[in-house]
């Protein structure tokens, strides 16, 4: 086998091991023809023969051939042992496709190894490499620079302190302070691979990609590849993407800049720093053209507050923009949420970032300040993660239980509106067909339920105790002694106690509970579709 490449100049000794490893990875052993010593042929205008071991000197239109390599220069020294030194305007061509230029070349004809110095240019049909220090191995057909170099092709410009270029495979390895400049982005890395044949950048170390558009998009990854011709990237390790006020993390990111779509797999975390929203899941897709995103598989929405945060789970979470450009977040199927002071369940939920309103649909029920809230729709107005108002529409009811007894205070109406202070309800207004059942007590001594109805009712509460009830437009009512009351008289017609559905903590939002009277479910987990094969969901909006 030929002797290993020899470097001269800065960085030569420290890179010998890297050179040997690179050679072993990209090529096999030399052929018998490559090992055979082939004589160097030289012609020139003037020859001065060397004496007593001195080199022969050639000058004036020097032309040299050796196997598949041709070279021109101003002057040349031929040393014993098939070694030459070329000076001035040196040009070499190998295989009629590899062009190597420089001010000076030291060439060993036995190992076909060239050391090129000063204004070095290495060209092939797909790229141009420029540097001042280049070693080129004619057997393995690769060049190595070790004191800054630049590679330019039709798509990109790549700079680094050190690098390799393999002329057979068209693969370049860049090391130390790597920069890639293209019309759409800038890349900064310590280590990159690049194919001039396919325009694919391979990420093999900490790498940052900065978009040149107005969105200030950035990417960070430590493993993956980016097809610069197709605008397609796949990232596999420690991935972080930013877009305007958003950041996103995932184990795997698949990006298409032409379609403007991003798919994220496993441990997905999306953070909206403006609206203080965090979304998590195992599968996510974003379509920037349609301005639409969704997250599924263990999907979690966190509305971050200063004193408390609301955690919400649903089968699938969606994000899109309304006609005014405001973000709308929704959750569909098996929705459950929890905060310290507010909990709820429903089948669909919508959060409007423009007014911080959360609305529950399809059998919604919520709990606040120890009260169960139910209606055809249930809405909350939030501020910094705290509830400010609730609105119950159509068949609206609010129920609170007296300790662990079967006595329940109840209010119902066509609509119910409640107001919060420090996350505690202090006032309730019932509008339309208002009815109440309230258990009168005196320091824990219960007299019985007070039943009344009126078109409009207002209730004031302090420390979770009713302090005043006002019935508007001739409300009527009566107190029935506790020992005389019938069970049916203690319940409004739409009474339903659903405490068993209530999430107990932020981890309980992933648990779906059947009715206590329902038949037990078989404990057989459903088969899950692989993350990569999940189709886009269909919303019921």
Tokens encoding 446: 């219960």
Contact partners, residue 368, CB within 8 Å, separation at least 6: 341, 342, 343, 387, 390, 418, 420, 423, 425
CATH number at residue 72: 2.60.450.10
Could you list the residue range(s) of the whole structural domain that residue 124 is in?
13-181
Kindly report the backbone phi and psi dihedral angles of residue 21, in degrees, each rounded to the nearest multiple of 5, phi listed first. -60, -45
Residue 347 lies in a domain: no
| Ramachandran region, residue 89 (left: φ > 0; alpha: ψ -120 to 50; beta: rest) | left
Last-in-domain residue among 148, 181, 214: 181
Instruction: Please choose, from the candidates 101, 46, 45, the residue with its C-alpha nearest in 3D space to the C-alpha of residue 70.
Output: 101
Residue 308 lies in a domain: no
Residue 388 has pLDDT above 70, yes or no: yes
pLDDT > 90: what percent of the chain?
45
| Ramachandran region, residue 426 (left: φ > 0; alpha: ψ -120 to 50; beta: rest) | alpha
Residue 345 has pLDDT above 60, yes or no: yes
Q: What is the pLDDT of residues 105-132, one digit of tens each?
A: 999 999 999 999 999 999 999 899 999 9
Residue 370 lies in a domain: yes
Residue 383 lies in a domain: yes
For residue 50, how many C-alpha atoms fall within 13 Å in the half-sphere facing its CB? Answer: 12
| Predicted pLDDT at 516 | 65
Residue 5 has pLDDT above 80, yes or no: no
Residue 46 lies in a domain: yes
CA atoms of 137 and 24, how far apart (whole Å): 14
Residue 400 lies in a domain: yes
| Predicted pLDDT at 50 | 64
Domains of the chain: total: 2
Last-in-domain residue among 181, 203, 222: 181
Q: What is the pLDDT of residues 288-313, one digit of tens each?
A: 888 888 999 899 999 887 777 889 99
CA pseudo-torsion sign 487, 490, 496, 497: negative
Tokens encoding 4: 């290993």
Residue 93 has pLDDT above 80, yes or no: yes
Q: What is the pLDDT of residues 170-215, one digit of tens each?
A: 999 999 999 999 888 899 999 999 999 998 999 999 999 988 876 6
Residue 189 lies in a domain: no
CA atoms of 387 and 251, how far apart (whole Å): 35
Residue 530 lies in a domain: no
CA atoms of 461 and 427, how far apart (whole Å): 6
CA atoms of 82 and 94, how far apart (whole Å): 18
CA atoms of 204 and 25, how far apart (whole Å): 15
Tokens encoding 295: 């997250």
Q: What is the pTM for the complete model shown? A: 0.76
Last-in-domain residue among 162, 181, 200: 181
């Amino acid at each position: 086998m030929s002797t290993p490449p020899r470097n001269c100049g800065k960085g030569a000794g420290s890179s010998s091991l890297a050179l040997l490893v690179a050679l072993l990875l990209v090529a096999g052993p030399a052929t018998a023809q490559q090992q055979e010593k082939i004589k160097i042929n030289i012609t020139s205008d003037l020859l001065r023969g060397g004496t007593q071991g001195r080199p022969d000197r050639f000058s004036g239109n020097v032309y040299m051939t050796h196997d598949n390599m041709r070279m021109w220069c101003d002057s040349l020294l031929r040393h014993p042992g098939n070694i030459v030194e070329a000076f001035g305007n040196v040009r070499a061509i190998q295989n009629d496709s590899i062009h190597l230029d420089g001010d000076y070349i030291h060439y060993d004809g036995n190992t076909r190894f060239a050391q090129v110095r000063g204004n070095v240019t290495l060209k092939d049909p797909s790229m141009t490499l420029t540097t001042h220090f280049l070693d080129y191995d004619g057997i393995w057909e690769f060049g190595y620079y070790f004191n800054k170099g630049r590679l330019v092709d039709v798509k990109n410009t790549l700079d680094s302190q050190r690098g390799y270029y393999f002329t057979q495979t068209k693969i370049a390895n860049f090391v130390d302070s790597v920069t890639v400049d293209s019309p759409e982005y800038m890349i900064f890395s310590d280590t990159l691979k690049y194919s001039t044949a396919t325009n694919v950048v391979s990420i093999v170390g900490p790498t940052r990609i900065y978009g040149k558009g107005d969105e200030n998009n950035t990417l960070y990854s430590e493993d993956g590849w980016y097809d610069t011709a197709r605008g397609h990237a796949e990232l596999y390790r420690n991935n972080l993407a930013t877009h305007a006020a958003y950041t996103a993390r995932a184990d795997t990111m698949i990006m298409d800049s032409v379609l403007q779509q991003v798919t994220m797999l496993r441990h997905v975390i999306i953070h909206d720093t403006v609206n203080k929203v965090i979304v998590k899941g195992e599968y996510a897709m974003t379509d920037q053209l349609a301005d639409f995103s969704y997250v599924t598989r263990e999907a979690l929405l966190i509305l971050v507050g200063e004193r408390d945060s609301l955690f919400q789970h649903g089968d699938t979470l969606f994000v899109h923009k309304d006609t005014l450009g405001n973000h709308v977040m929704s959750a569909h199927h098996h929705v459950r949420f929890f905060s310290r002071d507010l909990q709820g369940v429903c089948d669909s939920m919508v959060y409007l970032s423009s007014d911080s309103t959360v609305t529950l649909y399809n059998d919604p029920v919520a709990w606040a300040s120890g009260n169960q809230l139910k209606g055809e729709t249930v809405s909350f107005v939030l501020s910094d993660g705290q509830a400010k108002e609730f609105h119950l529409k159509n068949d609206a009811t609010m129920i609170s239980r007296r300790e662990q007894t079967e006595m329940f205070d109840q209010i119902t109406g066509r609509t119910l509106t409640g107001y919060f202070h420090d996350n505690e309800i202090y006032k309730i207004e019932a509008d339309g067909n208002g009815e109440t059942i309230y258990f009168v007590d005196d320091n824990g001594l219960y007299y019985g339920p007070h039943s009344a109805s009126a078109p409009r009712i207002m209730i004031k509460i302090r420390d979770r105790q009713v302090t005043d009830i006002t019935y508007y437009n001739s409300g009527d009512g009566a107190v029935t002694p506790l020992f005389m009351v019938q069970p049916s008289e203690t319940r409004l017609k739409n009474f339903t106690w659903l405490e068993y559905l209530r999430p107990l903590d932020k981890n309980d939002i992933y648990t779906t509970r059947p009715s206590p009277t329902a038949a037990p479910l078989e404990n057989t987990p459903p088969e899950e579709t692989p993350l990569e094969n999940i189709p886009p969901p269909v919303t019921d909006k």
